[in-house]
Amino acid sequence: MKLPRGVQPDFPLGRLTTVRTGGTADWFARPTTEGELSELLAWAHEADLVLGTIGSGSNLLVADDGFRGLAIKLDGELAGIEREGERLVCGGGARLPSASAKAAGWGLAGIEFGVNIPGTAGGAVKMNANAYGGQLAEVLEWVDVATAAGSDRRRPEQLGFAYRSSNLGPGEVVAQVSFHLHPDDPASIKARLEEMRGKRREAQPSGIKTFGSTFKNPEDERAEGRSAGQLLEAAGCRGLRHGAARFSEKHANFVENTGEATTAEVLELMAEGRRRVHDRFGVVLEPEVQVLGEALWPEGWAL
């Protein structure tokens, strides 16, 4: 099968992530329509290539050795944001903060929580992203999922949502998302967005290269209700560094790339934080961040 138009070889992926580490994808493309997307999926299937979808790369670590497959980033129509009555229909590649801001301007409420989640609509569905008690599943109406076998529409109850996870597999691409919102006064919605931005500025570092939460908050009772960040902090990880990677001084569950960090340095630091929390509290932290490619977890990772 002929190489589809726009497919590029050896594409550096680090710059498509917010932490900016990692190597190249064997193949990369930016489909802009559902037609282009299905052509790429069919090509990857026929060429026996693994598929990796990149949203805003805001919870993503790319392996230093890169990704042996086809990486795609949705663009054009597949990143659009449209209003249909009380619905917001977004391409899977639409940025969530832009969707929240647009909805506010149109007097549609319910997706305010997205203002502080620097990911895409598709990435938010895959990760079941949430903030400040906003429930993605409450406003999500349907998603169109594209695979090499075709596209189908799924309801939230079919997506297997659990804490920061869904049942979507690597070959399944969220191409379109519909949010059913409710009318409200644009000024009140915008005031809520501003309040949420303010709260976030107080709690989290800004302007740094990071992928947000590194570990999930544990359900283990030995954590005694503490978050991953609180456990890491108590275990002395705030500001801890490995090479150019360090746990943020402001939020211990955020890893920061302070310069030219590698993914290996980030993984080493994660392993050290995880080991310290385990030694101190007996709690095993599990990563929230997703890895594209073969992650070389350091020896100390297994506890």
Residues 78 to 117 in contact with ligand FAD, rule: CB under 6 A: 92, 116-117
**Residue 126 touching ligand FAD (CB under 6 A):** yes
- Considering only the stretches 38-46, 52-60, 181-189, 215-223, report the one whose residues sit in contact with ligand FAD under the rule CB under 6 A: 52-60
**Residue 69 touching ligand FAD (CB under 6 A):** no
In angstroms, the CA 29 to CA 11 distance is 9
**Residue 137 touching ligand FAD (CB under 6 A):** no
- Considering only the stretches 122-130, 231-239, 241-249, 276-284, report the one whose residues sit in contact with ligand FAD under the rule CB under 6 A: 122-130
In angstroms, the CA 281 to CA 298 distance is 21
| Ramachandran area for residue 213 (φ above 0: left; ψ -120 to 50: alpha; else beta) | beta
SS3 271: helix
Check if the beta carbon of residue 257 is closer than 8 Å to that of residue 209. Answer: yes
Is residue 56 annotated as a catalytic residue, yes or no? no
Which is nearer to ligand FAD, 256 or 281 (by Cβ)?
256
Which is nearer to ligand FAD, 237 or 281 (by Cβ)?
237
Among 210, 253, 257, 262, binds ligand FAD (CB under 6 A): 210
- Compute the least distance from the CB of residue 279 to ligand FAD, in Å: 27
Q: What is the dihedral of CA 107, 113, 114, 115, to 10 degrees?
A: 80
Secondary-structure percent of the chain, ordered helix, strand, coil, rounded to 5 = 35, 25, 40
Check if the beta carbon of residue 40 is closer than 8 Å to that of residue 70. Answer: yes
**Residue 72 touching ligand FAD (CB under 6 A):** no
**Residue 38 touching ligand FAD (CB under 6 A):** no
Residues 253 to 272 in contact with ligand FAD, rule: CB under 6 A: none
Per-residue contact flags (x/-) with ligand FAD for residues 171 to 200, judged by CB under 6 A: --xx--------------------------
Among 14, 118, 156, 229, binds ligand FAD (CB under 6 A): 118
Helix H segments across the chain? Answer: 34-46, 96-105, 121-127, 136-139, 186-203, 228-234, 263-281
- Compute the least distance from the CB of residue 70 to ligand FAD, in Å: 12
In angstroms, the CA 190 to CA 151 distance is 35
Which is nearer to ligand FAD, 52 or 287 (by Cβ)?
52
- Please spell the DSSP secondary structure of 20-79, one letter per residue: ----EEEEEE---SHHHHHHHHHHHHHTT-EEEE-SS-TTEEE-TT-EEEEEE---GGGG
Among 24, 32, 38, 53, binds ligand FAD (CB under 6 A): 53
**φ/ψ of residue 126, rounded to 5:** -60, -40
Is residue 213 annotated as a catalytic residue, yes or no? yes
**Residue 129 touching ligand FAD (CB under 6 A):** yes
**Residue 230 touching ligand FAD (CB under 6 A):** no
Which is nearer to ligand FAD, 146 or 235 (by Cβ)?
146
**Residue 284 touching ligand FAD (CB under 6 A):** no
| CB neighbours of residue 219 within 10 Å | 9
In angstroms, the CA 216 to CA 228 distance is 6
The catalytic residue among 213, 226, 233, 276 is 213
Check if the beta carbon of residue 58 is closer than 8 Å to that of residue 127. Answer: no
Q: What does the binding site for ligand FAD look like in residue numbers (CB under 6 A)?
A: 18, 52-60, 74, 92, 116-120, 122-124, 126-127, 129-131, 168, 173-174, 210-212, 290
Catalogue the active-site residues. 164, 213, 288
